[in-house]
Amino acid sequence: MAKKVDFDTPALSEYLQIPVLQEGSMAHSSPFVAKPDHQEALNFPGELVENWHDQAIAKMEDLSKTSRSFSLFLDICVHCGSCTDKCHYFLGTADPKNMPVARQELLRSVYRRYFTFAGKYFPNLVGAKDLTRETLDEWHSYFHQCSECRRCSVFCPYGIDTAEITMAARDILDAVGYGQKYDNEILGKVLKIGNNLGLPGPALKATLEDLEEDLEDDTDLPIRMPLNEKGADVLLITPSADFFAEPHIDGLLGYAKVFHQAGISWTMSDYASEGANFGMFIGNYPTMKKVAERIRTAALELGVKRVIVGECGHAWRVAYSFWNTLAGTGHGAAADDKYAQMLQKQLDPRYPAPQHIIEFTYDLLQRNALKIDKSANDHRTVTFHDSCNVARGTGMGGIERGQFILPREVIKAVVNNYVEMDSSTMFEETYCCGGGGGLLTDDLMELRVKGAMPRMNALKKVFDDEGVDTLAAICAICKSQFSKVLPFYDMPMDMITSVHQLVGDALVFENND
Amino acid sequence: MLTGLFAILFYVATVILVVGVAKRIAAYWRTPAPLKIPTMPAPRTQGGMLYRMGREVVLFESLFRSNKWIWIFGWVFHMALFLVLLRHGRYFQESPWFLTEIVQPFGKYGGIAMVAGLGGLWARRFLVERIRYISTPSDHLMLLLLIGIGMSGVMMTFVAHTDIVALKHFMTGLMVFDWKPLPADPVLIAHLSLVIILMVVFPISKLMHAPGIFFSPTRNQIDDSREKRHIAPWAAEMEK
Ligand code: SF4
Ligand code: SF4
C-alpha cells in the first residue's frame, strides 16, 4: 500500500547527473491494489488467488507461447549496462531497481528459475530466484515505477524493451488477482460506459453543447461539436480528458475550429468517447482489443469514411500501431479477412487510417486551406515536448521521423517564437513526463514528481535562458502530469498547452455570413 | 587416450551446441510477435530494416549512441573475435579458403585485441557501480572463460607455439570420423577444454544474444502498421 511520505523534489542542475545508487529508496512506492469489482469487470480474479504461485507460473508459460518478446527479451540480455542510466525514474530516484535491466531482472530471475536449464540447476550462478509472496509485492511496486516509455529500448544493443516486460508482469499480476486500482477501475468504466471518466451519453451531450456556446461567444460563429451524427465523413476519437480537463479542453476547441474552417463534416461518438486505451498499460491483449473494438463498432454504425485521433500519446500508439491488428481499423487486410474487410471497405483509401489530428491539420496547412494569423500567439515563447509514446511508438505523415517533423511544422506555422529543448532529451531520446503508462494517480505522486526531473531539467534551462513560457504537448497524460508537477520545480502550472490551442488561437475567422 | 577423449568431447559439444541453439531458434521462430512494436523511428521498407539490422550487428549502433566506453570495448572484442574465428578456419580446411588466407596476418593480433576488449568489459563490472550492481556470478565467469580462451590462444601464437600441423590433422580428421593424434600440449589442451565448455553453455546462456538479435521485434519489424494488417494466428482465432 502506498504510504504517505514526505519527499524532496530532486534538485535541477546544469548537466543531468547520474545518481549514486540508493538501494531501496523507492521500495515503499506501490500503487493501490484493485478492488474485487475492478478486477472482475475485466475477467480477472477479484483478489489474490490461493494458488497464486502455480497460476503465475502458468501465466508465464502462456506468455512465452503467445509473445516472442517475452522469452526472447528475458533470454538475451547480456547485462551490458547500456540501459542503466537511461530511465527517468532511475535518474530521479536513484533506486537501482529502477535501472531498466534491474527492473527486467525482477521478472527474469523467476523466469530463469522455472524455465531455463541454468536457473533450474545453478540458480545462484545466474541470479535465479523462487517465486514468493514477497516477489509479487516487489513486482507490484517496481512494475508500477515504469511508464512503459521505451526509452531504454532505444539504447539496448538488442532492442530489449522494458515496457514489454512491465506489461507482461502487470498481466501476470492481474491474472493472479493482484492488479492496480487506477488502471483497472478506469478500464471498467470505459468498457461499461464508453470513456475513462464514466461520463454517460447525456452528460457528454450537455458538455458539448456548453462548449458550442463558448465557441459561439468567442467567435460569433456556429462552430459545432457534433455527437453521434450518422453519415459524417470523420469520426473523431479523442481522450476523454479533452472534455473537461485543463488545458486539454482548449485543444478540443481547437480541433472543432479546424474542422469548421476546413468545412469537413465530423462527429464524435458517445459509445466510443475515449481515445485512451489502458489495456496497453496492463499488457492485456483481450482487454485492449475490447476497448479498440468499441471504436470499430462506432465507425461502422456511423458509417464514417475516416477516423481521426485527438492529442493523446499512448492512444496514438494504440491507434497507429495496434488498431489495425486489434480491430481491423486500418488498411491492407487480406482479401479473405472478413472481420477486417468489413470496416476497411468502408474507409476512404485516400487517407491513412487512423489519422492523427496533427496530420490532418498539417495537411490543411500545406494546402493553405487554413487562414492563420501567427501574431495571435506573439505573447508566447513556445517549446514542444515529444511525448514518449508518439516518439518511440508511432509515426506520422507516412515518412520516417514524421512524428517529430509534423508537430513542429504545425506549431511553427501558428507561432513566431519557437525554441527547442536540449536535443539529447528530445526526439527518440525524449524523457517521459513522469506520469505515463498508467501511473497518473495521486497514490504515486512521489514517483511522478521525481520521474519528471530529467524533463524538468531541460525545460528549466529554456525557461530561464530563453524566456519559454509555453510548453506545448500532444498527450493528455503529459498535460495532466505537467500541470501537477511544474509547480514542484518552480514553474507555472498553466504553461502547459495543447498544440491545437495554439492552432485555434491563430485561426482567423472572417465573419461574412 | 587424450585423442579419444577430446574427439568424443568435441562430438558431444557440437551436438549440444547445434541442437540446443536450433531448439531455441525454432522456439523464437514459432512464437509470434502479436503486435507491431518496432522502436520508432523505424524503417518503412524491408530493405531499410535490413540496413538497420546490419548497422546494429556490424557497428553496434544503439550501443554507440548510448555509451562510448561499453561500445569501444564490446565492439573491439566482437570484431577481434570475428577475425580470430575466420583465422581458425585454417584448422578445418585442407586448402584454406581465400578469406581465411587474407586474415592470417591481422588475425594474429586479433587475439590480443580480443583479450584487451574483454579486459575492459570486465573492469567495468568492478569499477562502475551500476554495472557492478547488475552483474551476476555467471557474468564474471563468462568473461573469465572468454579471457581464458583468448589468453591461451595468444600464448600459442606468440609464446609457446604448438604443433599446428598435427592439430590441423586432428581437426580435419574429426570431421570425417578419422581420428588423428592430438598433440599433448598443455596450453592447447587448456584452450580446447575451455572452447568445449563455451560450446556447451552457449545455448543455455546469454550468448544466445547472437542469434537472438535477429528475432528482436523492436529491431526487425517495419513501420507499416497502418498499411498492412499484422495479426498473430492465436489472435485471429478470437475473431472467428
Ligand atoms: S520503459 Fe521507460 S520507464 Fe520503463 S524502464 Fe524503460 S526507460 Fe524506464
Ligand atoms: S542494454 Fe539491453 S542487453 Fe544491455 S543490460 Fe540493458 S537490457 Fe540488457
Q: Is A1 helix (H, G, I), strand (E, B) or coil?
A: coil
Q: Please give the pLDDT value at position B240.
A: 85
Assess whether A434 and A473 both reside in one domain.
Answer: yes
Taking the domains of chain B in order of start, what are their residue ranges?
Answer: 2-239
Ligand nearest to the CA of A101: 2
- Asked, for residue A156, whether it belongs to a domain, the answer is yes
* Of the candidates B161, B163, B156, B196, the residue with the CA atom closest to the CA atom of residue B182: B163
Q: Alpha-carbon dihedral of residues A70, A72, A76, A79, nearest 10 degrees?
A: -20
DSSP A12-63: P-SSPPPPPP-TTTTTT--PPBPPHHHHHTTTS-SS--TTHHHHHHHHHHHH
Assess whether A292 and A397 both reside in one domain.
Answer: no
Ligand 1 centre distance from Cα of residue A83 (Å): 9
Assess whether A198 and A167 both reside in one domain.
Answer: no
Q: Which residue of A has its CA nearest to B223?
A: A395
* Of the candidates A322, A321, A327, the residue with the CA atom closest to the CA atom of residue A344: A327
Q: Please give the pLDDT value at position A1.
A: 41
Q: What is the pTM of this model?
A: 0.97
Assess whether A263 and A168 both reside in one domain.
Answer: no
Q: Please give the pLDDT value at position A2.
A: 43
CATH number among 3.30.70.20, 3.40.1390.10, 3.40.640.10, 1.20.950.20, domain B2-239:
1.20.950.20
* Of the candidates B167, B223, B218, the residue with the CA atom closest to the CA atom of residue B192: B167
Residue A210 has, within 13 A of its CA and on its CB side, a CA count of 9
Report the gap between the CA of B160 and the closest CA in chain A (Å).
Answer: 34
- Last residue in a domain, options A178, A209, A235: A178
- Asked, for residue A36, whether it belongs to a domain, the answer is no
Q: Say if the Cβ atoms of B223 and A86 lie within 8 Å.
A: no
Assess whether A309 and A248 both reside in one domain.
Answer: yes
Dig out the grid coordinates for A73 from the structure: 527479451
Specify the CATH number for the domain of residue A454: 3.40.50
Assess whether A104 and A126 both reside in one domain.
Answer: yes
Assess whether A375 and A348 both reside in one domain.
Answer: no
CA distance B98 to A357: 58
Task: Tell whether A351 is within 8 A of chain B (Cβ).
Answer: no
- Asked, for residue A465, whether it belongs to a domain, the answer is yes
Query: Mean pLDDT for each consecutive 10-residue tract of chain A (513 residues)?
Result: 70 92 98 98 98 98 98 98 98 98 98 97 97 98 98 98 98 98 98 94 97 94 97 98 95 98 97 98 98 98 98 98 98 96 97 98 97 97 98 97 98 98 97 98 98 98 98 98 97 98 95 51
Task: Tell whether A331 is within 8 A of chain B (Cβ).
Answer: yes
Report the gap between the CA of B107 and the closest CA in chain A (Å).
Answer: 25
Q: Say if the Cβ atoms of B41 and A401 lie within 8 Å.
A: yes
Ligand 2 centre distance from Cα of residue A82 (Å): 6
- Asked, for residue A24, whether it belongs to a domain, the answer is no
Assess whether A346 and A443 both reside in one domain.
Answer: no
- Angle in degrees, 0-180, between the axes of helices A68-76 and A162-175, rounded to the nearest 10: 120
Residue B210 neighbours by CB distance under 10 Å: 15
User: Which residues line the pocket of ligand 1, CB cutoff 6 A?
Assistant: A 86-87, 89, 100, 103, 146-152, 162-163, 166
Assess whether A428 and A338 both reside in one domain.
Answer: no
Q: Which residue of B has its CA nearest to A19?
A: B130
Dig out the grid coordinates for A162 from the structure: 522494458
Assess whether A206 and A338 both reside in one domain.
Answer: yes
Q: In which domain, by residue range, is A485 found?
A: 369-506
Q: Mutating which of B51, B216, B219, B227 best tests the A interface, going by the most A Cβ atoms within 10 A?
A: B216
User: Which segments in chain B show pLDDT lower than 70?
Assistant: none
Assess whether A139 and A250 both reside in one domain.
Answer: no
- Asked, for residue A356, whether it belongs to a domain, the answer is yes
Q: Mutating which of A23, A60, A64, A84 best tests the B interface, going by the most B Cβ atoms within 10 A?
A: A84
Task: Tell whether A99 is within 8 A of chain B (Cβ).
Answer: yes
CA A282 from chain center: how many Å?
Answer: 12
- Nearest-atom number in ligand 2 for the CA of A155 is 1
- Asked, for residue A72, whether it belongs to a domain, the answer is yes
Out of B32, B34, B204, the one facing A116 most closely (by C-beta) is B204
Residue A191 has, within 13 A of its CA and on its CB side, a CA count of 20
CA distance A67 to B198: 29
Assess whether A357 and A373 both reside in one domain.
Answer: no
Overall number of domains in chain A: 3
